[in-house]
């Protein structure tokens, strides 16, 4: 997979004009890249388009058009684009009630290291988490973690051949799994693999 470069991005003016249509396209694409893991965790699998949308939105919010600012955003988000042998995902821990969320995040320290994927017939692959920075502080974990799942060549062949993929979290405070990722999501994830 190729990284995003400045020439892949719209100017602020172009994005303002195209934002509604581009956002609709990105949201439709994201629907096929989302796996709920129980009631309070969701894996959002990232790719070139999801990161292009994220960078465009950050530039819009920050009003950034300077080359240095664009380069900074690309440096932050390019590492989330899969490189052909892995899946990259944002783990969101979602609780509507603030006090419930705070208590859950205190109980779930280390949850990011307990997320896994499993291609049928193969061992579980544990996430490599938060390579950019540590997200656990002050006795609680973050509600957002960035994960990478490295797949073996055999797993890649199996996924491309239609093998089922399970996903889950095996933390003592949150133990949930999905036995088979929906086919529409799996079809989208196959595109991330060489």
Shared domain check, 42 and 57:
no
pLDDT for 133 equals: 67
| Residue 52 token pair | 């292009």
Tell me the sheet residues that pair with 36. Answer: 42
pLDDT for 131 equals: 83
Shared domain check, 59 and 147:
no
DSSP three-state, residue 166:
strand
Shared domain check, 115 and 23:
no
Q: What is the mean pLDDT of the chain?
A: 96
Supply the DSSP symbol for 134.
-
User: Which among 132, 136, 113 is positioned nearest to 124, based on CA atoms?
Assistant: 113
Q: Give the pLDDT confidence of 8-19 residue by residue, as tens digits.
A: 999 999 999 999
Long-range CB contact pairs, 9-13, < 8 A, 24+: 9/52, 9/55, 9/56, 9/59, 9/70, 10/56, 11/65, 12/59, 12/60, 12/63, 12/64, 12/65
Q: Give the pLDDT confidence of 47-81 residue by residue, as tens digits.
A: 999 999 999 999 999 999 999 999 999 999 999 99
Shared domain check, 97 and 14:
no
Least confident of 119-133, 147-161, 178-192: 119-133
- Domain residues for the domain of 40 are 33-46+82-194
pLDDT for 135 equals: 67
Per-residue pLDDT, averaged over 30-50, amounts to 98
Shared domain check, 107 and 55:
no
Q: Rounded distance, CA 106 to CA 93, Å?
A: 12
Q: Give the pLDDT confidence of 94-136 residue by residue, as tens digits.
A: 999 999 999 999 999 999 999 999 999 999 999 999 887 676 7
What is the percentage of the chain residues whose pLDDT exceeds 70?
98
Q: Rounded distance, CA 103 to CA 109, Å?
A: 11
Shared domain check, 100 and 17:
no
CATH of the domain at 119: 2.60.40
DSSP three-state, residue 194:
coil
Count of the separate structural domains present in the chain:
2
Q: Rounded distance, CA 190 to CA 155, Å?
A: 11
Shared domain check, 180 and 88:
yes
User: Which among 104, 168, 112, 169 is positioned nearest to 135, based on CA atoms?
Assistant: 112
């Amino acid at each position: 997979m190729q990284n995003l470069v400045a020439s892949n991005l719209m100017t602020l003016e172009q994005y303002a004009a195209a934002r509604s249509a581009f956002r609709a396209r990105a949201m439709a694409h994201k629907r096929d890249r989302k796996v709920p893991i129980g009631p309070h965790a969701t894996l959002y699998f990232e790719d070139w388009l999801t990161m292009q949308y994220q960078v465009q939105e950050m530039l819009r919010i920050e009003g950034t058009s300077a080359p240095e600012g664009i380069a900074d955003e690309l440096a932050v988000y390019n590492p989330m684009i899969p490189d052909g042998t892995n899946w990259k995902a944002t783990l969101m821990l979602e609780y509507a009630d603030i006090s419930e969320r705070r208590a859950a995040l205190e109980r779930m320290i280390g949850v990011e290291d307990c997320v896994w994927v499993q291609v049928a017939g193969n061992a579980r692959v544990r996430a490599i988490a938060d390579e950019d920075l540590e997200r656990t502080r002050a006795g609680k974990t973050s509600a957002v973690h960035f994960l990478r799942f490295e797949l073996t060549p055999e797993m890649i062949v199996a996924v491309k051949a239609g093998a089922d993929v399970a996903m889950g979290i095996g933390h003592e405070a949150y133990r949930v799994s999905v036995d088979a990722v929906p086919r529409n999501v799996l079809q989208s994830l196959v595109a991330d693999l060489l």
